[in-house]
A = this chain, B = another copy of it.
Amino acid sequence: MRKVCVVITARTSYTKIKPILVALKANPQVELKIVCAASALLDRYGKVELTVQKDGFSISERIYMVLEAETLLTSAKSVGMGVIEFAGAFDRLRPDVVLLMADRYEVIAPAIAASYQNIPLAHVQGGEVSGNIDEKVRHAITKFADLHFPATERARDWLVRMGERPETVFCTGCPSTDVANEVIQNPTIDFSVYKKYGGVGSHPNLDNGYIIVMQHPVTTEYADARKQVGETLHAVSELNRPVLWFWPNPDAGSDDTSKTLRSFRENNDCKWLHFMKSMEPADFLRILYASDGIVGNSSVAIRECSYLGVPAINIGTRQANRERGPNVADVSHDRFEIRSAIERHLNGRVERSNLYGSGNAGKRIADIVSTVPLSFSKSIGYLT
Protein backbone atom coordinates (compact mmCIF):
# COMPACT_ATOMS: atom_id res chain seq x y z
CA MET A 1 0.00 0.00 0.00
CA ARG A 2 1.54 3.27 -1.09
CA LYS A 3 0.38 6.65 0.23
CA VAL A 4 0.32 9.10 -2.68
CA CYS A 5 -0.32 12.77 -1.92
CA VAL A 6 -1.48 14.97 -4.78
CA VAL A 7 -1.40 18.77 -4.55
CA ILE A 8 -4.01 20.97 -6.27
CA THR A 9 -3.40 24.71 -6.31
CA ALA A 10 -5.47 26.08 -9.19
CA ARG A 11 -8.35 25.51 -11.49
CA THR A 12 -6.27 25.07 -14.62
CA SER A 13 -3.94 22.49 -13.19
CA TYR A 14 -6.86 20.53 -11.74
CA THR A 15 -8.00 19.83 -15.29
CA LYS A 16 -4.77 17.93 -15.79
CA ILE A 17 -4.63 16.37 -12.35
CA LYS A 18 -8.11 14.87 -12.41
CA PRO A 19 -7.29 11.99 -14.80
CA ILE A 20 -4.41 11.03 -12.49
CA LEU A 21 -6.68 11.21 -9.43
CA VAL A 22 -9.29 9.02 -11.09
CA ALA A 23 -6.68 6.37 -11.84
CA LEU A 24 -5.09 6.61 -8.37
CA LYS A 25 -8.46 6.29 -6.65
CA ALA A 26 -9.28 3.20 -8.68
CA ASN A 27 -6.00 1.55 -7.67
CA PRO A 28 -6.44 -0.66 -4.56
CA GLN A 29 -2.70 -0.45 -3.85
CA VAL A 30 -2.91 3.32 -3.36
CA GLU A 31 -4.00 5.39 -0.37
CA LEU A 32 -4.83 8.70 -1.99
CA LYS A 33 -4.38 11.99 -0.11
CA ILE A 34 -5.33 15.32 -1.64
CA VAL A 35 -4.10 18.72 -0.50
CA CYS A 36 -5.92 21.79 -1.86
CA ALA A 37 -4.07 25.08 -1.65
CA ALA A 38 -3.78 28.68 -2.81
CA SER A 39 -6.36 29.84 -5.35
CA ALA A 40 -8.01 26.40 -5.37
CA LEU A 41 -9.67 27.53 -2.11
CA LEU A 42 -10.60 31.03 -3.14
CA ASP A 43 -13.95 32.25 -4.25
CA ARG A 44 -12.45 34.82 -6.57
CA TYR A 45 -10.92 32.04 -8.65
CA GLY A 46 -13.81 29.66 -8.75
CA LYS A 47 -13.00 27.61 -5.63
CA VAL A 48 -11.94 24.40 -7.37
CA GLU A 49 -12.04 22.56 -4.06
CA LEU A 50 -15.79 22.29 -4.50
CA THR A 51 -15.36 20.66 -7.92
CA VAL A 52 -12.79 18.29 -6.46
CA GLN A 53 -15.31 17.15 -3.88
CA LYS A 54 -18.16 16.96 -6.36
CA ASP A 55 -15.92 14.74 -8.46
CA GLY A 56 -15.92 12.29 -5.57
CA PHE A 57 -12.55 13.02 -4.00
CA SER A 58 -12.02 13.90 -0.38
CA ILE A 59 -9.60 16.62 0.63
CA SER A 60 -7.18 15.85 3.46
CA GLU A 61 -5.71 19.29 4.03
CA ARG A 62 -6.51 22.84 2.95
CA ILE A 63 -3.68 25.34 2.72
CA TYR A 64 -4.50 29.04 2.80
CA MET A 65 -1.42 30.84 1.58
CA VAL A 66 -2.41 33.73 -0.68
CA LEU A 67 -1.47 37.00 0.97
CA GLU A 68 -3.81 39.52 -0.53
CA ALA A 69 -2.56 42.46 -2.64
CA GLU A 70 -1.21 40.74 -5.73
CA THR A 71 2.05 42.56 -5.91
CA LEU A 72 5.29 40.75 -6.56
CA LEU A 73 6.11 41.21 -2.89
CA THR A 74 3.00 39.44 -1.71
CA SER A 75 3.44 36.65 -4.27
CA ALA A 76 6.84 35.97 -2.77
CA LYS A 77 5.53 36.14 0.80
CA SER A 78 2.67 33.83 -0.15
CA VAL A 79 5.22 31.23 -1.19
CA GLY A 80 6.86 31.55 2.23
CA MET A 81 3.50 31.02 3.91
CA GLY A 82 2.97 28.05 1.62
CA VAL A 83 6.25 26.42 2.60
CA ILE A 84 5.34 26.74 6.29
CA GLU A 85 1.88 25.30 5.81
CA PHE A 86 2.79 22.52 3.36
CA ALA A 87 5.59 21.42 5.67
CA GLY A 88 3.05 20.91 8.44
CA ALA A 89 0.59 19.16 6.16
CA PHE A 90 3.18 16.68 4.87
CA ASP A 91 4.41 16.08 8.40
CA ARG A 92 0.87 15.13 9.41
CA LEU A 93 0.07 13.10 6.28
CA ARG A 94 3.46 11.36 5.99
CA PRO A 95 3.01 10.41 2.33
CA ASP A 96 5.31 7.98 0.53
CA VAL A 97 5.41 10.33 -2.43
CA VAL A 98 4.07 13.79 -3.26
CA LEU A 99 2.88 14.54 -6.79
CA LEU A 100 2.96 18.09 -8.14
CA MET A 101 1.72 19.58 -11.39
CA ALA A 102 3.49 22.09 -13.59
CA ASP A 103 4.91 25.47 -12.75
CA ARG A 104 2.65 28.00 -11.09
CA TYR A 105 4.52 30.24 -8.67
CA GLU A 106 3.05 28.59 -5.59
CA VAL A 107 4.05 25.03 -6.56
CA ILE A 108 7.63 25.63 -5.44
CA ALA A 109 6.24 25.67 -1.88
CA PRO A 110 5.17 22.00 -1.69
CA ALA A 111 8.31 21.03 -3.64
CA ILE A 112 10.48 22.47 -0.86
CA ALA A 113 8.24 21.21 1.94
CA ALA A 114 8.47 17.64 0.63
CA SER A 115 12.15 17.61 -0.34
CA TYR A 116 13.32 19.12 2.93
CA GLN A 117 11.47 16.37 4.79
CA ASN A 118 12.96 13.61 2.64
CA ILE A 119 9.69 12.78 0.94
CA PRO A 120 10.12 11.59 -2.67
CA LEU A 121 8.69 14.07 -5.15
CA ALA A 122 6.99 13.38 -8.49
CA HIS A 123 6.57 16.19 -10.99
CA VAL A 124 4.21 16.29 -13.94
CA GLN A 125 4.99 18.54 -16.93
CA GLY A 126 8.62 19.36 -16.28
CA GLY A 127 11.14 20.13 -18.98
CA GLU A 128 9.01 22.59 -20.91
CA VAL A 129 10.12 25.97 -22.20
CA SER A 130 8.06 29.09 -21.61
CA GLY A 131 10.39 31.99 -20.97
CA ASN A 132 9.40 33.73 -17.73
CA ILE A 133 9.24 33.15 -13.98
CA ASP A 134 7.16 30.03 -14.64
CA GLU A 135 10.11 28.50 -16.43
CA LYS A 136 12.45 29.25 -13.56
CA VAL A 137 9.98 27.70 -11.14
CA ARG A 138 9.40 24.67 -13.36
CA HIS A 139 13.08 23.80 -13.68
CA ALA A 140 13.72 24.48 -9.99
CA ILE A 141 10.97 21.98 -9.15
CA THR A 142 12.62 19.53 -11.53
CA LYS A 143 15.82 19.81 -9.56
CA PHE A 144 13.93 18.94 -6.35
CA ALA A 145 11.90 16.15 -8.00
CA ASP A 146 12.82 12.46 -7.95
CA LEU A 147 10.32 11.29 -10.57
CA HIS A 148 9.36 13.14 -13.74
CA PHE A 149 6.35 12.87 -16.04
CA PRO A 150 7.03 15.22 -18.96
CA ALA A 151 4.36 15.77 -21.58
CA THR A 152 6.46 15.80 -24.75
CA GLU A 153 9.55 14.12 -26.12
CA ARG A 154 11.38 17.44 -26.27
CA ALA A 155 10.63 18.01 -22.57
CA ARG A 156 11.86 14.51 -21.76
CA ASP A 157 15.14 15.21 -23.52
CA TRP A 158 15.60 18.43 -21.62
CA LEU A 159 15.14 16.71 -18.27
CA VAL A 160 17.82 14.17 -19.09
CA ARG A 161 20.18 16.86 -20.36
CA MET A 162 19.70 18.70 -17.07
CA GLY A 163 21.02 15.68 -15.23
CA GLU A 164 17.92 13.68 -14.32
CA ARG A 165 18.53 9.94 -14.60
CA PRO A 166 16.70 8.58 -17.65
CA GLU A 167 15.13 5.81 -15.59
CA THR A 168 13.35 8.44 -13.46
CA VAL A 169 11.88 10.27 -16.45
CA PHE A 170 8.66 8.93 -18.02
CA CYS A 171 7.26 10.61 -21.10
CA THR A 172 3.59 9.89 -20.49
CA GLY A 173 2.02 12.80 -22.35
CA CYS A 174 -0.06 15.47 -20.72
CA PRO A 175 -3.17 14.28 -18.84
CA SER A 176 -5.07 17.18 -20.35
CA THR A 177 -5.20 15.08 -23.50
CA ASP A 178 -7.08 12.42 -21.52
CA VAL A 179 -9.95 14.80 -20.90
CA ALA A 180 -9.73 16.02 -24.47
CA ASN A 181 -9.94 12.43 -25.63
CA GLU A 182 -13.11 11.83 -23.60
CA VAL A 183 -14.59 14.99 -25.05
CA ILE A 184 -13.88 13.84 -28.58
CA GLN A 185 -15.52 10.50 -27.78
CA ASN A 186 -18.55 12.29 -26.38
CA PRO A 187 -18.78 15.92 -27.50
CA THR A 188 -22.45 16.49 -26.60
CA ILE A 189 -23.07 19.57 -24.48
CA ASP A 190 -26.01 18.58 -22.30
CA PHE A 191 -26.24 21.74 -20.23
CA SER A 192 -26.90 25.45 -20.61
CA VAL A 193 -23.72 27.42 -20.01
CA TYR A 194 -25.53 30.35 -18.45
CA LYS A 195 -27.79 28.30 -16.21
CA LYS A 196 -25.16 25.91 -14.96
CA TYR A 197 -22.30 28.37 -14.54
CA GLY A 198 -23.82 31.81 -14.06
CA GLY A 199 -21.22 34.50 -14.47
CA VAL A 200 -21.96 38.13 -15.25
CA GLY A 201 -22.70 40.20 -18.34
CA SER A 202 -24.97 39.57 -21.29
CA HIS A 203 -26.15 36.18 -22.49
CA PRO A 204 -25.23 36.13 -26.19
CA ASN A 205 -26.68 33.29 -28.28
CA LEU A 206 -24.02 30.60 -28.64
CA ASP A 207 -25.76 28.46 -31.23
CA ASN A 208 -24.00 29.86 -34.27
CA GLY A 209 -20.47 29.89 -33.00
CA TYR A 210 -18.60 31.83 -30.35
CA ILE A 211 -15.10 32.68 -29.22
CA ILE A 212 -13.42 31.83 -25.92
CA VAL A 213 -11.06 34.36 -24.33
CA MET A 214 -8.66 33.48 -21.56
CA GLN A 215 -5.90 35.97 -20.87
CA HIS A 216 -3.63 35.98 -17.85
CA PRO A 217 -1.52 38.92 -16.71
CA VAL A 218 2.18 38.41 -17.45
CA THR A 219 4.12 38.80 -14.22
CA THR A 220 7.18 40.47 -15.63
CA GLU A 221 5.11 43.02 -17.50
CA TYR A 222 3.05 43.88 -14.45
CA ALA A 223 2.50 47.55 -15.29
CA ASP A 224 1.19 46.69 -18.74
CA ALA A 225 -1.41 44.22 -17.55
CA ARG A 226 -4.27 46.70 -17.94
CA LYS A 227 -3.17 47.85 -21.37
CA GLN A 228 -2.74 44.30 -22.64
CA VAL A 229 -6.16 43.12 -21.61
CA GLY A 230 -7.57 46.32 -23.08
CA GLU A 231 -6.15 45.50 -26.52
CA THR A 232 -7.81 42.12 -26.49
CA LEU A 233 -11.10 43.60 -25.28
CA HIS A 234 -11.15 46.10 -28.11
CA ALA A 235 -10.18 43.49 -30.68
CA VAL A 236 -13.01 41.12 -29.80
CA SER A 237 -15.51 43.97 -29.31
CA GLU A 238 -15.29 44.80 -33.00
CA LEU A 239 -16.06 41.32 -34.27
CA ASN A 240 -19.78 41.08 -33.70
CA ARG A 241 -19.31 37.49 -32.55
CA PRO A 242 -20.37 36.07 -29.15
CA VAL A 243 -17.55 35.91 -26.61
CA LEU A 244 -17.18 33.85 -23.42
CA TRP A 245 -14.48 35.50 -21.35
CA PHE A 246 -12.89 33.54 -18.49
CA TRP A 247 -11.42 35.42 -15.51
CA PRO A 248 -7.70 35.09 -14.94
CA ASN A 249 -5.68 33.38 -12.19
CA PRO A 250 -4.53 35.02 -8.95
CA ASP A 251 -1.11 36.12 -10.17
CA ALA A 252 0.35 39.53 -9.52
CA GLY A 253 -1.62 41.83 -11.80
CA SER A 254 -4.82 39.87 -12.05
CA ASP A 255 -6.64 42.40 -9.92
CA ASP A 256 -5.83 45.08 -12.45
CA THR A 257 -7.09 42.82 -15.18
CA SER A 258 -10.33 42.33 -13.29
CA LYS A 259 -10.78 46.04 -12.90
CA THR A 260 -10.23 46.66 -16.57
CA LEU A 261 -12.77 44.02 -17.46
CA ARG A 262 -15.31 45.31 -15.00
CA SER A 263 -14.91 48.89 -16.07
CA PHE A 264 -15.16 47.98 -19.78
CA ARG A 265 -18.36 46.10 -19.11
CA GLU A 266 -19.85 49.00 -17.23
CA ASN A 267 -18.97 51.60 -19.81
CA ASN A 268 -19.88 49.74 -22.98
CA ASP A 269 -22.89 48.04 -24.40
CA CYS A 270 -21.69 44.44 -24.45
CA LYS A 271 -24.53 42.30 -25.76
CA TRP A 272 -21.95 39.94 -27.20
CA LEU A 273 -19.96 39.45 -24.00
CA HIS A 274 -20.30 37.13 -21.01
CA PHE A 275 -17.79 36.77 -18.17
CA MET A 276 -17.29 33.49 -16.35
CA LYS A 277 -15.27 31.89 -13.61
CA SER A 278 -14.21 28.26 -13.74
CA MET A 279 -16.13 25.34 -15.21
CA GLU A 280 -15.82 21.65 -14.58
CA PRO A 281 -12.91 20.55 -16.74
CA ALA A 282 -14.81 18.28 -19.13
CA ASP A 283 -17.58 20.86 -19.57
CA PHE A 284 -14.98 23.46 -20.36
CA LEU A 285 -13.32 21.32 -23.01
CA ARG A 286 -16.70 20.57 -24.60
CA ILE A 287 -17.41 24.30 -24.77
CA LEU A 288 -13.95 24.78 -26.23
CA TYR A 289 -14.36 21.92 -28.70
CA ALA A 290 -17.67 23.42 -29.89
CA SER A 291 -16.24 26.94 -30.16
CA ASP A 292 -14.83 28.80 -33.13
CA GLY A 293 -11.55 29.02 -31.31
CA ILE A 294 -9.71 30.50 -28.37
CA VAL A 295 -7.96 33.85 -27.92
CA GLY A 296 -5.53 34.90 -25.20
CA ASN A 297 -2.42 33.45 -23.64
CA SER A 298 -3.61 30.34 -21.82
CA SER A 299 -1.68 27.11 -22.18
CA VAL A 300 -5.01 25.43 -22.92
CA ALA A 301 -4.81 26.97 -26.36
CA ILE A 302 -1.47 25.29 -26.98
CA ARG A 303 -2.01 21.98 -25.26
CA GLU A 304 -5.60 20.71 -25.22
CA CYS A 305 -6.51 22.62 -28.37
CA SER A 306 -3.72 21.01 -30.38
CA TYR A 307 -5.13 17.61 -29.44
CA LEU A 308 -8.72 18.78 -30.09
CA GLY A 309 -7.91 20.61 -33.32
CA VAL A 310 -9.38 23.90 -32.08
CA PRO A 311 -7.77 27.01 -33.64
CA ALA A 312 -6.07 29.41 -31.24
CA ILE A 313 -4.78 32.99 -31.31
CA ASN A 314 -1.91 33.18 -28.84
CA ILE A 315 -1.15 36.73 -27.71
CA GLY A 316 2.16 37.99 -26.44
CA THR A 317 5.08 36.33 -24.72
CA ARG A 318 3.47 34.20 -22.01
CA GLN A 319 3.63 30.99 -24.08
CA ALA A 320 6.84 31.94 -25.89
CA ASN A 321 8.90 28.89 -26.76
CA ARG A 322 6.27 26.42 -25.72
CA GLU A 323 6.00 23.68 -28.32
CA ARG A 324 2.96 24.17 -30.48
CA GLY A 325 0.97 22.24 -33.03
CA PRO A 326 -0.53 23.54 -36.29
CA ASN A 327 -3.59 25.01 -34.48
CA VAL A 328 -1.80 28.08 -33.06
CA ALA A 329 -1.31 31.52 -34.60
CA ASP A 330 0.86 33.97 -32.67
CA VAL A 331 0.23 37.71 -32.42
CA SER A 332 1.42 40.57 -30.24
CA HIS A 333 -0.63 42.72 -27.83
CA ASP A 334 -2.11 44.82 -30.61
CA ARG A 335 -5.85 45.10 -31.21
CA PHE A 336 -5.51 45.18 -34.98
CA GLU A 337 -3.25 42.16 -35.14
CA ILE A 338 -5.48 40.26 -32.77
CA ARG A 339 -8.61 41.10 -34.69
CA SER A 340 -7.21 40.25 -38.06
CA ALA A 341 -5.75 36.97 -36.79
CA ILE A 342 -9.15 36.00 -35.38
CA GLU A 343 -10.83 36.79 -38.67
CA ARG A 344 -8.31 34.81 -40.70
CA HIS A 345 -7.83 31.91 -38.36
CA LEU A 346 -10.92 31.20 -36.28
CA ASN A 347 -13.05 29.54 -38.92
CA GLY A 348 -13.61 25.91 -38.06
CA ARG A 349 -11.61 22.91 -36.83
CA VAL A 350 -7.91 22.41 -37.80
CA GLU A 351 -5.69 19.32 -37.91
CA ARG A 352 -5.27 17.41 -34.61
CA SER A 353 -1.85 16.58 -33.15
CA ASN A 354 -0.46 14.11 -30.58
CA LEU A 355 2.36 16.43 -29.63
CA TYR A 356 1.10 16.68 -26.00
CA GLY A 357 0.01 13.08 -25.52
CA SER A 358 -2.33 10.41 -26.74
CA GLY A 359 -5.13 10.53 -24.23
CA ASN A 360 -3.96 8.04 -21.59
CA ALA A 361 -1.45 10.02 -19.50
CA GLY A 362 -3.41 9.95 -16.23
CA LYS A 363 -3.53 6.18 -16.10
CA ARG A 364 0.14 5.83 -17.01
CA ILE A 365 1.30 8.36 -14.41
CA ALA A 366 -0.84 6.73 -11.71
CA ASP A 367 0.50 3.28 -12.55
CA ILE A 368 4.10 4.41 -12.41
CA VAL A 369 3.90 6.58 -9.30
CA SER A 370 2.22 3.77 -7.39
CA THR A 371 4.71 1.06 -8.30
CA VAL A 372 8.11 2.48 -9.21
CA PRO A 373 10.84 2.23 -6.54
CA LEU A 374 10.96 5.51 -4.58
CA SER A 375 14.00 7.46 -3.43
CA PHE A 376 14.63 11.01 -2.31
CA SER A 377 18.32 10.84 -3.02
CA LYS A 378 19.66 11.82 -6.39
CA SER A 379 22.75 13.35 -7.94
CA ILE A 380 23.93 14.40 -11.33
CA GLY A 381 27.12 12.70 -10.22
CA TYR A 382 26.00 9.41 -11.75
CA LEU A 383 27.28 10.73 -15.04
CA THR A 384 30.75 11.79 -13.97
Contacts from A to B (Cβ < 8 Å): 41-44, 64-69, 71-77, 79-88, 91, 105, 108-109, 112-113, 115-118, 129-133, 135-136, 139-144, 154, 158, 161-163, 200, 219-220, 250, 255, 259, 262, 266, 320-321, 376-381, 384
**Closest residue of chain B to A145, judged by CB?**
B136
**CB distance A112 to B79 under 8 Å?**
yes
Main SS class of interface, A: helix
Give 5 A-B pairs besides A108-B112, A118-B133, A321-B379 with Cβ atoms closer than 8 angstroms.
Answer: A64-B74, A80-B85, A81-B81, A132-B377, A135-B379
Enumerate 28 A-B pairs (CB-CB under 8 Å) in ascending A order: A41-B69, A44-B68, A64-B68, A64-B69, A64-B77, A66-B67, A76-B86, A76-B117, A77-B87, A77-B88, A79-B112, A80-B85, A80-B87, A80-B109, A81-B81, A83-B83, A84-B84, A85-B88, A116-B133, A130-B381, A131-B379, A136-B143, A158-B163, A200-B262, A220-B377, A321-B379, A321-B381, A321-B384
**CB distance A115 to B136 under 8 Å?**
yes
**CB distance A381 to B116 under 8 Å?**
no
Q: Tell me the complex Cα distance, A140–B266, Å.
A: 45
**Closest residue of chain B to A198, judged by CB?**
B263
Q: Tell me the complex Cα distance, A381–B131, Å.
A: 7
**Closest residue of chain B to A65, judged by CB?**
B67
Q: Tell me the complex Cα distance, A327–B45, Å.
A: 42
Q: Tell me the complex Cα distance, A380–B163, Å.
A: 14
User: How many copies of the chain does the oligomer comprise?
Assistant: 4
**CB distance B135 to A144 under 8 Å?**
no
Nearest CB on B from A49, distance (A): 11
Q: Which residues of B contact A143 (CB under 8 A)?
A: 136, 139-140, 142-143
The 5 closest A-B pairs by CB, nearest first: A80-B83, A321-B381, A80-B84, A76-B87, A139-B143
**CB distance B154 to A384 under 8 Å?**
yes
Q: Tell me the complex Cα distance, A130–B84, Å.
A: 26
**One of B72, B84, B108, B135 near A380 (C-beta < 8 A):** B135
Q: Tell me the complex Cα distance, A79–B67, Å.
A: 12
Q: Which residues of B contact A115 (CB under 8 A)?
A: 133, 136
**CB distance B64 to A73 under 8 Å?**
yes
Q: Which residues of B contact A112 (CB under 8 A)?
A: 76, 79-80, 108
Q: Which residues of B contact A72 (CB under 8 A)?
A: 116-118
**Closest residue of chain B to A89, judged by CB?**
B88
**CB distance A84 to B77 under 8 Å?**
yes
Q: Which residues of B contact A381 (CB under 8 A)?
A: 129-131, 135, 320-321
Nearest CB on B from A4, distance (A): 20
Q: Which residues of B contact A136 (CB under 8 A)?
A: 115, 143-144, 378
Q: Which residues of B contact A379 (CB under 8 A)?
A: 129-132, 135, 320-321
**CB distance A113 to B76 under 8 Å?**
yes
Q: Tell me the complex Cα distance, A162–B158, Å.
A: 8
- Supposing A68-B66, A115-B136, A158-B163 touch, asked if A77 and B73 sit within 8 A by C-beta, the answer is no
Q: Tell me the complex Cα distance, A333–B259, Å.
A: 32
Q: Tell me the complex Cα distance, A144–B132, Å.
A: 11
Nearest CB on B from A116, distance (A): 4
Q: Tell me the complex Cα distance, A140–B83, Å.
A: 15
**CB distance B80 to A129 under 8 Å?**
no
**Closest residue of chain B to A161, judged by CB?**
B161
**Closest residue of chain B to A266, judged by CB?**
B200
Q: Which of A81, A82, A132, A136 has the most CB of B within 10 A?
A: A136
